[in-house]
Amino acid sequence: MVVDDSVVIRSLVTHALEQDPLLQVVGTASNGAIALKRIPQLNPDVITLDIEMPEMDGLETLRHVHRDYPSTRVVMFSTLTERGVAVTLEALSLGADDYVTKASNEGSMERSLERLRGELVPKIRQFFRIGGSEKKEAHLPAPTDHGTSTLASRLSGAQAPASLLRPPPKLKMRPRAVLIGVSTGGPNALSAILPSLPAHFPLPVLLVQHMPPLFTRLLSERLNASCRLPVAEATQGELVGPGKILIAPGDFHMKLVPGGDGVRICLDQAPPLNSCRPAVDALFSSAGEAYAGSVIAVVLTGMGQDGLRGAEILKARGAYILAQDQETSVVWGMPGAIASAGLADRILPLDQVIPEILSAAGLA
């Protein structure tokens, strides 16, 4: 169901979605109050939800949907403004599953449709297992109810082989940095675990979250307010020091470059990797050289397989690699790729990731 106060946007989104043979738009609504009345009649699997609407806005609608229809997935439509981004991050914390941004000037209707097909359709598909090949007769099974702690009913991918759950090997070298890669579900996952890092944590934490500009800055500000370690967007040429968390800024790859005075940040706008910029692969691959593999690399919830190639490089140099497990991931694409490739030393529930990092760093 498409919920937006603009008739043009409702029409555009409907047209873009219905060009995909696996998706059907069962209805639309011009505000949240109307949407809530129609949900019991239409039983949508997914709702696209605008933020700014009359009578009942997106956040209030989201609260009702999350409470009354917990199995319904919600994708927010966000504007690239300070307020729009801040409200979107708030929506994610309230239970929205993902978001897409509204571009102010697409130039043409066809370009707008192309962008929606390229961004919105994959974000809807990521929440479902698709039976068989992606042909017209394939279908999206309706998601089942899930509690706030168990999300396995709506996750993609297969469970990790039992052999990957073996006890971890001894670390070959003392870690010098922690690297984290995350995408869909990332803001909530990061908010849940990073405040657990102690103020005396001795290693730098370098983080790639798939987000556009402005989103990464506001995310870093939100995390900085809740963490005992300082959190900020990384800057060009910045010296990587212990006890701080640096986030790759939107639309820039964050790479690590060794030098005489230590490791420094290099930001660039090289072509996207895995359709992402920033990309986890860019950070992981550069860390293999900068730290000679003496890192703890963590891959959390996210769509796709960004980080896989970088993890292969790190693993070959002796890095210690952790992957979030399927049950606690919103989408088990990125960590699932690491697990399936046999690169994960440990596959862990989200709440065990920080304890494992502290243990590997010699603090527990």
What's the rounded mean pLDDT across residues 101-112?
71
What's the rounded mean pLDDT across residues 108-125?
86
Q: Which residues are catalytic?
A: 183, 210, 306
Q: Is 154 exposed, middle or buried (0-12, 13-18, 19+ CB in 10 A)?
A: buried
Helix 82-93 to helix 215-226 angle (10° resolution) is: 50
Q: Give the model's confidence band at 167: pLDDT under 50 very low, under 70 low, under 90 confident, else very high.
A: low
pLDDT value, residue 85: 93
What's the rounded mean pLDDT across residues 173-182?
94
pLDDT value, residue 364: 72
The percentage of residues in the chain with a pLDDT greater than 90, rounded to a whole number, is 76
- Domain 165-360, architecture per CATH: 3-Layer(aba) Sandwich (3.40)
pLDDT value, residue 28: 97
The residue length of the chain stands at: 364
Comparing 59-63, 122-126, 219-223, 355-359, the range with the smallest average pLDDT is 122-126
pLDDT value, residue 5: 94
Residue 188: φ, ψ to 5°: -70, -40
Q: Are 303 and 122 in contact (CB under 8 A)?
A: yes
pLDDT value, residue 81: 86
Reply yes or no on whether the pLDDT at 39 is more than 70.
yes
What is the pTM for the complete model shown? 0.87
pLDDT value, residue 140: 38
Residue 83: DSSP 8-state: H
Q: What is the pLDDT of residues 203-213, one digit of tens each?
A: 999 999 999 99
Average pLDDT across the chain, whole number = 88
Q: DSSP secondary structure string, 256-288?
A: EEEETTEEEEEEE-PPPBTTBSS-HHHHHHHHH
Give, in order, the Cα–Cα distances in Å from 361 to each of 6, 278, 280: 52, 26, 22
Residue 349: φ, ψ to 5°: -60, 155
CA distance 143 to 47: 13
Q: Are 77 and 104 in contact (CB under 8 A)?
A: no
Q: Are 318 and 248 in contact (CB under 8 A)?
A: no
pLDDT value, residue 3: 97
The domain 2-129 having CATH identifier 3.40.50.2300: the answer here is yes
pLDDT value, residue 162: 40
Sequence letter at residue 68: D
Reply yes or no on whether the pLDDT at 139 is more than 50.
no
Residue 357: DSSP 8-state: H
- Strand 2-3 with 73-79, pairing: unpaired
Q: Give the model's confidence band at 157: pLDDT under 50 very low, under 70 low, under 90 confident, else very high.
A: very low
Give, in order, the Cα–Cα distances in Å from 263 to each of 2, 96, 174, 200, 204: 47, 37, 16, 20, 11
Q: Give the model's confidence band at 168: pLDDT under 50 very low, under 70 low, under 90 confident, else very high.
A: low
- Strand 73-79 with 98-102, pairing: parallel
CA distance 252 to 249: 6
Q: How far is CA 308 from the centre of its chain?
A: 15
Reply yes or no on whether the pLDDT at 12 is more than 60.
yes
Give the SS3 label for residue 179. strand
Q: What does the domain layout of the chain look like in residue ranges?
A: 2-129, 165-360
